[in-house]
Amino acid sequence: MKVILLGTAAGGGFPQWNCWCPTCRTARLDPSMAHPRTQSSVAVSANGSNWFLLNASPDVRTQLGRLPHPTGPAARHVPIDGIVFTDAELDHTLGLVLLREAGRLTVWATDAVVRTMEHESRVLAVTRAFADVPAVPLPPGHAVALTLRDGTSSGLTVEAFEVAGHPPRFDSGATPSGHTVGLLLRDAGGACCAYVPGCGAFDEPLAERLAIASLVLFDGTFWSSDELVSRGFSTRDAHAMGHLPIGGTGGSLARLAQLPGTAVYTHINNTNPILLENSAERAAVEQAGMVVGRDGMEFTL
């Protein structure tokens, strides 16, 4: 299985357009010390030529340029066979509308996520005015085959699992379950990658699931719970936003360090000090044997 980190920033990207916090400032003035990042998304493939997106970010147009170019003479080429969604947040779904020229694009998501995309944000409904967009249900706990555009097997399955989180802020009618999931991608040879870009708590069932994966791409939104509140950027702390911080007692760093696989942080918010190449927080992540994700990183499992 091949995995490409197409984008590793949280919503707003890095630097965020309206932000001059210390990390955003560094990303603009000295990008070698804080590399700019696009909004979080991943591409996975069993064979290196057929790809699936995990979430569709507003930066999808740029991100798809990282995938292999077509070799045939055809004038039109859709470089992905479908999109799997972990939630219906805007930073994970707006890219679907931007791919409306595809003609046909299959999406995989839980019923709760499909409902939000259909009726609340309407990104599915709007895209359907331009393209055929079948939605395949992703019931948590069941491995579902990812099929190619021609209907044949891709060699990959995806299994969703519920994680702690909050439904999107614009969706007041969200069901209590299914709005936020992690994904386990598996190939026929037994390789397994976990993708969990949003996660509000780390319990034993989660640890057991992630232990199966040799590569764990995990929620790196915030270093500390009060990161936005202390800067006056928000009144909601990390827990209120459904993101478990990396640092501190009970943070994800201590838990991920106990897993057998490689853990990579992604969906990193622009305020997070791990974005600074020379920060103490970056050093702490690396000393624990973990990786701070960066756009373009590739893994072969």
- Interaction site with Mn ion (CB under 5 A): 10-11, 89, 91
Minimum CB distance to ligand MLT, residue 17 (Å):
13
Q: Tokens 């827990």: give the residue.
A: 239
The partner in contact with residue 297, picked from Mn ion, ligand MLT, Zn ion, none with C-beta cut-offs of 5 to 8 angstroms by kind, is: none
The partner in contact with residue 241, picked from Mn ion, ligand MLT, Zn ion, none with C-beta cut-offs of 5 to 8 angstroms by kind, is: ligand MLT
Nearer to Zn ion, 21 or 297 (CB): 21
Candidates 99, 20, 24; CA nearest to 58 is 99
Phi, psi at 54, each rounded to 5° = -105, 105
**Separation CA 223–CA 273 (nearest Å):** 7
- Does residue 281 interact with ligand MLT by CB under 6 A? no
- From 64-72, 89-97, 199-207, 272-280, give the range in contact with ligand MLT by CB under 6 A: 89-97
Comparing every residue's Cβ against ligand MLT, the nearest one is 11
- Burial of 215 from C-beta contacts in 10 A (0-12 / 13-18 / 19+): buried
The partner in contact with residue 229, picked from ligand MLT, Mn ion, Zn ion, none with C-beta cut-offs of 5 to 8 angstroms by kind, is: none
Q: Tokens 């309407």: give the residue.
A: 122
Minimum CB distance to Zn ion, residue 226 (Å):
15
Nearer to Zn ion, 27 or 191 (CB): 27
Minimum CB distance to ligand MLT, residue 90 (Å):
6
- Does residue 11 interact with ligand MLT by CB under 6 A? yes
- Does residue 241 interact with ligand MLT by CB under 6 A? yes
- Does residue 227 interact with ligand MLT by CB under 6 A? no
Minimum CB distance to ligand MLT, residue 221 (Å):
6
- From 58-66, 77-85, 86-94, 114-122, give the range in contact with ligand MLT by CB under 6 A: 86-94
Question: What are the residues whose beta carbons fall under 8 Å from the beta carbon of 5, sequence distance 6 or more?
Answer: 42, 217, 264, 266, 293, 294, 295, 296, 297, 298
Quick one: residue 103, left, alpha or beta (phi over 0 = left, psi -120 to 50 = alpha)? left
Question: What are the residues whose beta carbons fall under 8 Å from the beta carbon of 38, sequence distance 6 or more?
Answer: 6, 7, 8, 9, 13, 57, 59, 62, 63, 295
Pairing, β 2-7 against β 298-300: antiparallel
Residues of the shown chain interacting with ligand MLT in the complex, contacts defined by CB under 6 A: 10-11, 89-91, 169, 198, 241-242
